[in-house]
Amino acid sequence: MLLAKPSDLKLIEKKQSFFQKFITLINALREAVHMADKPHLNMIVTGHIDNGKSTTMGHFLMDLGVVDERTIAAHAVESEKTGKGDTFKYAWVMDNIKDERERGITIDLAFQKFESAKYFFTLIDAPGHRDFIKNMITGASEADAAILVLSAKEGETDTAIAAGGQAREHAFLLKTLGVSQLIVAINKMDSVDYKEDAFNSAKEKGEKLIKSVGYKLENVAFIPVSGWMGDNLVKKSENMPWYTGKTLLLAFDDFTIPEKPIGKPLRVPIQDVYTITGVGTVPVGRVETGTMKAGDKIIVMPSGATGEIKSIETHHTEMPSAEAGDNIGFNLRGIEKKDIKRGDVLGTPDKPPTVAKEFKAQIIIIHHPTAIAPGYTPVMHAHTTQVAATVTEFLQKINPATGAVEEENPKFLKVGDSAIVKIRPVRPTCIETFKDFPEMGRFALRDMGATIAAGIVKEITEEYKP
């Protein structure tokens, strides 16, 4: 029998590894083409820390075949090494940052792709931990639909929905940031022996919460699940014969595709501006509303510079036109680099983007060690712009659930308070009312590395005309 030389074995191994990579690439391409045939939705998973968001979605992805069992087994071994038993084997599918594994919490946004019978989804796992709420805001502002994970375990949902609980905070943020489609998963059914009473108790508390935020109960499905055991995620559970509703996977097909706001005036917040030799100034951004095509006359605000669209491209492919939802780069005629920067907004001269010197907004205070008073100046984040902004006046404190006025001209606002306020950015800033352009009328106020408040623009009280 001939024995292969070590060099031959290395060559065979190399070839095998190349072949495996090639097969993986082909499969990925095939999957991408297949997924492109289906309508796409961004879905965010939210909920209080330790209520099992990451575990539920990790197990869901394994049952769906998106993640294989070997990966889960490897996570289990790694989890054992950290002294946590195998408790994080599913969660680590979503929590792929080393620091998250060591602390056992979700820090950044994790993205995974999967598909149901009807849709192709990008799944965003949002952090439940308070430090990381800014990432949750980034995710929620991109999401079309959301899952809120609550726990059936005695006391856990009470903590999550109490003042300061993340489930409560996330529910408010989702509604404020315009995520109108929601499913509530009542998790940890295995730890309450799959009892219907435990589900009903948690469901009742969840209903109160989402109703207080402004969701209509008849549009929200409540599903009893076990992220750890896999009940009602992809397959119908035999442990809960009393539940006759859909599994999580089937319920996802009840979501609807939001209508693209193509009939509205053009709004393209600028993300970056590049200077390319032989081409000129090339801004990039996402078309939030409206449509645009080569040859169109445009205006850049707040500078007021006007020009014309020379060409549009996406992923290095030229396209004749673009519409709401497209991420594009475009070449402009008649606009110099000094006239356009990140945070500016592109529109048409007949219906130019609004530039505010001051506006009225409804905000909800998410986090602050003490309280805020008029004159407070955090940094405002809206679409692609970041600008210091002073909250000049507190007009009314309102009940976030009913919208009823609780107090006129309050002296201060603390965590959980919702109020109508006046805000003055330190320089004129492109922003629209939420009623006319929800995509352009949401913002967050950040300070000391944390999100202090989330809000929506109610009215432009002082406009800037260049």
**Integer Cα distance of 178 and 438 in angstroms:** 7
Contact predicate 39/120, CB 8 Å: yes
Predicted confidence (pLDDT) at residue 125 exceeds the cutoff of 50: yes
| Rg of the chain (C-alpha set) | 25
pLDDT at 346: 97
- The per-residue pLDDT for range 435-466, each reduced to its tens digit, is 999 889 988 898 887 778 888 899 999 999 88
- The per-residue pLDDT for range 28-77, each reduced to its tens digit, is 555 544 445 678 787 888 887 677 777 788 788 878 776 655 655 555 55
Dihedral pair phi/psi, residue 160, rounded to 5°: -65, -35
pLDDT at 26: 53
pTM (predicted TM-score):
0.63
Predicted confidence (pLDDT) at residue 332 exceeds the cutoff of 60: yes
Predicted confidence (pLDDT) at residue 101 exceeds the cutoff of 50: no
pLDDT at 22: 56
Give the DSSP H or E segment for 419. Answer: strand 418-425
Give the DSSP H or E segment for 12. Answer: helix 6-36
User: What DSSP state is assigned to residue 252?
Assistant: H
Proportion of the chain above pLDDT 90, given as a percent: 40
Q: Could you tell me the two tokens for 407? A: 């107090």
Determine how β-strand 280-286 pairs with β-strand 268-276.
Answer: antiparallel
The residues with which 418 forms a beta bridge, in sequence order, are 364, 398
Ordered by where they begin, the domains of the chain are 32-252 (3.40.50.300), 268-347 (2.40.30.10), 355-463 (2.40.30.10)
| Higher pLDDT among residues 300 and 284, named by residue | 300
